[in-house]
């Protein structure tokens, strides 16, 4: 099918019977929509992550299991074959409890955590199939782990795109037909040993893009709770407006710098095959949404704002850096060794300042490895500042038109700025703030840069 669309529905779009029904209507209204990727019901992954911490008391475990039961039960009560559906969910709840007790007894790790959190998507997708049948549409459940091959870096596994393509063409493509809709899971995958992995929090968008690439789809549709990508998070800035079209680069910058509406890796497979991505609201599809494409009609200096909280700033200084070579290489190799990805960088004669993000791993593992700091301290002085907010202005050619960048500086000067970065990309200007109310800063920047 040449116009094939892959549709992904996030947690709130499958969070209850009404939301699932709206999502169902979106799927059946597009005859090209034959493969559907879904997230766990809203709130479920957070509950599973809590269980996977290995720190819940027996009472807490039972309380969470009961909440998980309630979330799925209120969908089941609207459907047929309730006995079968209930048994299915109870089977998963039992496995979740058993795995949680193992995590408590033996100590948790990312592998057990991935096994526990994967139940969220496995349960929601099963109920979504039942909902299609309830409305008289044939649907087929597909275990994405048979095709979503990843490495074994549990909690933030890397997909193996070549293998995914071969497996998808072998096992998923033959199932696609006009008669049935395939419903599968986002977020989860498996390694070569068949062990369950996850792509990191919010990873279902990425799953849809990876499957879309493997299937050579014409479009990837990300259905969520907002009608498109906005000029900034509409929950924080009430005047934020939906953006009709964005380039892949702009969307990737926004996602990288914290716009949660798209997982940062989503654009990577789409770019490789130039597949347009649509972002819209499953509750209000009539409102339209955003198209993310290779190029757009306009390239405004200021397109959007993104916010990432809780950044860590590490300032490394050494008097011997003056005129020396190799200092930066040494610093970066230590960060690489401890798997800390550096975001912003700024250098002076004797020091370098870098920021790192807490990351998006499923287990939520955060923080700096103390061994890394010790290793850095062997050749420089190390100062760490935590909990800093980072605001990114996303746009185009900000420094190439006179007076444009000044507008941003004029506006930010009322806030305490700790670090500024511009230059590596023509698409972002980043301010690391000292502290303060980020919502005030975002609203002010939005008003000055994006509201006229």
Residues of this chain that bind ligand ASP (CB under 6 A): 10-11, 39-40, 45, 120, 186-187, 201-204
Query: Closest Cα to residue 197, out of 250, 160, 237?
Result: 160
Nearer to ligand ASP, 187 or 335 (CB): 187
Contact between 20 and ligand ADP (CB under 6 A)? no
CA distance linking residue 256 with residue 76, whole number of Å: 37
Q: Pick between residue 11 and residue 159 the one whose CB is nearest to ligand ADP.
A: 11
Cα 399–chain centre separation: 30
Could you tell which of ligand ADP, ligand ASP, Mg ion, none binds residue 187, using a CB distance below 5 to 8 A set by kind?
Answer: ligand ASP
Q: What's the min distance (Å) between Cβ of 28 and ligand ADP? A: 19
CB of 8 to ligand ASP, least distance (A): 8
**By the rule CB under 6 A, 225 interacts with ligand ADP:** yes
Which residues are paired to 354 by β-bridges? 314, 345
Instruction: Give the residue with the Cβ less far from Mg ion, 40 or 421.
Output: 40
Out of Mg ion, ligand ADP, ligand ASP, none, which partner does residue 280 contact, by CB within 5 to 8 A per kind?
Answer: none
Segment contacting ligand ADP (CB under 6 A): 57-65, 72-80, 146-154, 229-237? 229-237
Residue span binding Mg ion (CB under 5 A) among the ranges 7-15, 160-168, 308-316, 340-348: 7-15
Q: Which is nearer to ligand ASP, 203 or 289 (CB)?
A: 203
72, 97, 260, 418: which one binds ligand ADP (CB under 6 A):
260
Piece in contact with ligand ADP (CB under 6 A), picked from 91-99, 149-157, 230-238, 397-405: 230-238
Task: State the binding string over 374-413 for Mg ion (x if CB under 5 A, else -).
Answer: ----------------------------------------
- Find the shortest distance in angstroms from Cβ 202 to ligand ADP: 5
Find, among 376, 404, 408, the residue nearest to 393 by Cα. 408
Cβ nearer to ligand ASP, comparing 10 with 289 = 10
Beta carbon nearer to Mg ion, 54 or 264: 264
30-46 CB burial, b ≥16 within 10 A, e <16: eeebbbbbbbbbbebbe
- The C-alpha atoms of residue 62 and residue 50 are separated, in whole angstroms, by 12
Q: Does 196 bind ligand ADP (CB under 6 A)?
A: no
Contacts of 49 (CB under 8 A, 6+ apart): 113, 117, 362, 363, 364
CB 42 within 8 A of CB 311: no
Which residue, among 107, 96, 110, has the nearest Cα to 61 in the 3D structure?
A: 96
State the nearest-atom distance from the C-beta of 49 to Mg ion, in Å.
15
The answer to whether residue 202 forms part of the interface with Mg ion (CB under 5 A) is yes
CA–CA gap between residue 452 and residue 440 (Å, rounded):
18
CB of 230 vs ligand ASP, minimal distance in Å: 19
Q: 164 or 237, CB closer to ligand ADP?
A: 237
- Is position 235 an interface residue for ligand ADP (rule: CB under 6 A)? yes
How many Cα atoms are found within 13 Å in the side-chain-facing hemisphere of 374?
Answer: 3
To the nearest whole angstrom, how small is the minimum distance from the Cβ of residue 233 to ligand ADP? 3
233 binds ligand ADP (CB under 6 A): yes
Binding at 96: pick from Mg ion, ligand ASP, ligand ADP, none (beta carbon under 5-8 Å per type): none
Say which residues have a Cβ less than 8 Å from residue 367's Cβ, sequence separation at least 6: 358
Among residues 10 and 159, whose Cβ is nearest to ligand ASP?
10
Question: What minimum distance in Å lies between the beta carbon of 145 and ligand ADP?
Answer: 20
**Which residue in the shown chain puts its C-beta closest to ligand ADP?**
10
Q: Are 448 and 407 in contact (CB under 8 A)?
A: yes
Site residues for ligand ADP per CB under 6 A: 10-13, 39, 202, 224-226, 229-230, 232-235, 254, 259-261, 304
Residues that bind Mg ion (CB under 5 A): 10, 202
């Amino acid at each position: 099918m040449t116009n094939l669309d892959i549709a992904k529905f996030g947690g709130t779009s499958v969070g209850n019977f009404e939301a699932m029904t709206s999502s169902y209507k979106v799927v059946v209204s597009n005859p090209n929509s034959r493969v559907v990727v879904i997230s766990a019901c809203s709130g479920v992954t957070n509950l599973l992550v809590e269980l996977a911490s290995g720190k819940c008391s027996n009472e807490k475990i039972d309380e969470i299991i009961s909440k998980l039961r309630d979330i799925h039960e209120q969908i089941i009560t609207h459907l047929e074959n309730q006995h079968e559906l209930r048994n299915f969910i109870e089977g998963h709840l039992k496995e979740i409890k058993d795995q949680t007790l193992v995590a408590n007894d033996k100590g948790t790790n990312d592998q057990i955590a991935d096994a526990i959190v994967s139940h969220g998507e496995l349960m929601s997708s099963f109920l979504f199939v039942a909902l299609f049948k309830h409305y008289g549409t044939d649907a087929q459940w597909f275990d994405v782990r048979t095709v979503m091959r990843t490495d074994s870096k549990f909690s933030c596994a890397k997909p193996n795109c070549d293998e995914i393509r071969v497996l998808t063409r072998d096992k998923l493509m033959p199932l696609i037909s006009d008669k049935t809709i395939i419903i599968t899971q986002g977020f989860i995958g498996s390694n070569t040993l068949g062990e369950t992995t996850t792509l990191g929090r919010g990873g279902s968008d990425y799953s849809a893009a990876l499957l879309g690439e493997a299937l050579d789809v014409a479009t990837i549709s990300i259905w969520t709770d907002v009608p498109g990508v906005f000029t900034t998070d509409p929950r924080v800035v009430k005047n934020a407006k939906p953006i009709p079209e964005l380039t892949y680069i702009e969307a990737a910058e926004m996602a990288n710098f914290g716009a949660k509406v798209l997982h940062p890796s989503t654009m990577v497979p789409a770019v490789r095959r130039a597949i347009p991505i649509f972002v819209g609201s499953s509750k209000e599809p009539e409102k339209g949404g955003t198209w993310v494409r290779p190029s757009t009609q306009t390239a405004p200096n200021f397109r959007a704002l993104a916010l990432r909280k809780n950044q860590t700033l590490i300032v490394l200084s050494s008097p011997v850096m003056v005129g020396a070579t190799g200092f930066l290489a040494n610093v970066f190799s230590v960060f690489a060794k401890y798997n800390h990805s550096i975001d912003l960088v700024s250098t002076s004669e004797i020091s370098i300042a870098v920021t790192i993000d807490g990351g998006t791993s499923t287990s939520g593992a955060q923080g700096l490895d103390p061994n890394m700091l010790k290793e850095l301290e062997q050749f420089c002085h190390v100062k760490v500042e935590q909990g800093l907010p980072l605001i990114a202005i996303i746009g185009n050619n900000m420094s190439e038109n006179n007076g444009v960048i000044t507008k941003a500086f004029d506006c930010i000067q009322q806030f305490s700025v700790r670090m500024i970065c511009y230059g590596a990309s023509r698409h972002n200007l980043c301010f690391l703030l000292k502290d303060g109310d980020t919502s005030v800063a975002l609203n002010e920047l939005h008003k000055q840069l994006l509201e006229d």
